[in-house]
Amino acid sequence: MGMKYTHLGRSGLTVSRLCLGTMNFGPHTAEADAHLIMDQAHDAGLNFLDTANVYGGAANRGWTEEIVGRWMARGGGRRERTVLATKVYGAMGDWPNDGKLSARSIRMALDASLKRLQTDHVDLYQFHHVDRDTPWDEIWQAVDTAVQQGKILYAGSSNFAGWHIAAAQEAAARRPVMGLVSEQSIYNLMERSIEREAIPAAQHYGLGILPWSPLHGGLLGGVLAKENDGVRRTGGRAAKALEEHRDAIGAFEDLAAGLGHAPADVALAWLLHQPAVTAPIIGPRTSAQLDAGLRALDVALDGDALARLDEIFPGPKTAPEDYAW
């Protein structure tokens, strides 16, 4: 199985078609196991790693970045071979300016992330959410300064609406600076809302889509088969969603079986077949889960399979045709 690569949006930066998400590192995956998973990812040719300053749990924000930092500090080309992405926005404390995207918050948060990550620069610095109270001229000035200092190479967004992407890019063009090169958003067969406006905006401005929750909290990972085998019990919101979509999920699992692939592999492969997608983010808790994610790179879906998936999980049309003529 050979790793596949592409450019991050319109940039010249080459990244693997899968991105290693680290949100489980610390709270759900011990540090030693996390280090093994990151080494395993490199061994497989996966060079793209995503984290965030707030990862680690409510009481341990910053923990995940520290784990990644200690891994990279072990040397052996770990930092040099990694396209490192982290995020800014979430509050790291209780004082004013401990979060969001003011120039001060960006400067303080970036320096704190660099210290935890034990590196002098972040390859992709992502706005974890839109800050409706800070003007884009201020945000881009702070980013420009960090770029000139060599602390950031590229900027990306996360959880932005289509018009937020447009506002960001138009403000960047006025400066003029490169602006955003990626948008990280929830996107999977069951949650396709970004096809309405965010994806068209991203394609227009040359942003690559980085889907998070590609298996929709495990509901696209063979949940019915696992329930039947007594391997999984679904609770909370996932249980409600499972009941609402049980027929569709059943049809999806049957289709995957007919194709000879695991449901999770088909769900990831579907994302890899979407023209706007750069790299789905897989967040393994174990080495076995990383191995499973890598399998999707070798799953080819023909036109019939893609059409059947659209029938099972129909997505919206592009706006305005989705709701008007």
- Indicate which residues carry an active-site annotation: 55
Distance separating the N- and C-terminal Cα atoms of the chain: 45
CA distances from 143 to 123, 153, 170, 189, 224 (A): 13, 10, 15, 34, 46
Task: Give the tokens for residue 118.
Answer: 């034990």
Q: What is the DSSP letter of 189?
A: T
Rounded to whole angstroms, what are the CA distances from 155 to 75, 123, 184, 302?
26, 8, 11, 34
Strand duo 122-127 + 208-212: pairing:
unpaired
Question: Rounded to whole angstroms, how far apart are CA atoms 202 and 208?
Answer: 7
Tell me how far apart the alpha carbons of residues 307 and 310 are, in angstroms, rounded to a whole number: 5
Question: What are the structure tokens assigned to 176, written together?
Answer: 């003029």
Helices vs. strands in the chain: H and E counts, helices first: 12, 10
Backbone torsions φ then ψ of 320, nearest 5 degrees: -90, -5
